[in-house]
Amino acid sequence: MGDTTGTRWKVPVLTQVILVLMGYINLKPRFYSSEVVALALASYLSGLSSWRTLLPHSTLLYYLRRLGYIKYVVPISGFYAVDETMVVKGEYYYVWIVRDVRTGAIPFFMVTSSRSGGAYIDNLDEYEECGKGG
């Protein structure tokens, strides 16, 4: 179960990343623990059928939509604070969370295996260009 098919991240690492993101967007499941929801999402994203996870199929898809789909325009002012959270599960991984200082929105996040900050800044510039164009 720790191997991956649909993603290059291992399920335990992806589970920890999802838990960090759930904490940042203040997503607290009502009937299941955050750990169970994160593990089910990580398993699903790694290729396990949604019918075979620990959660009911509809519950899994509900949390997938909550974490992965934005229905509104994210308000950004151009002033950002970047928080780098290290997740250790046998290896080092960094979850880069970009938060808009004025609005509190999280317009961008990414996971890297290196601590170098240049990669996320380039991606943030691309995000801003996409936002201006469309």
- Sheet bearing 80-88, strands edge to edge: 80-88, 92-100, 108-112
Cα–Cα dist 62/47, whole Å:
17
Instruction: Report the predicted TM-score, pTM, of the whole model to 2 decimal places.
Output: 0.60
39-65: average pLDDT? 88
Tell me the sheet residues that pair with 50.
none
The domain limits of the chain are 11-68, 80-133
Q: What is the pLDDT of residues 55-106, one digit of tens each?
A: 999 999 888 888 776 666 767 787 888 777 776 666 777 777 778 888 877 7
Cα–Cα dist 132/26, whole Å:
28
Q: Which tokens hold the place of 94?
A: 């960094």
- DSSP-derived secondary structure letter, 89: S
pLDDT band at 107 (very low <50, low <70, confident <90, very high): confident
Listed in sequence order, the residues at least 6 apart from 106 whose beta carbon sits closer than 8 Å to its beta carbon are: 24, 25, 74, 97, 98, 99, 100
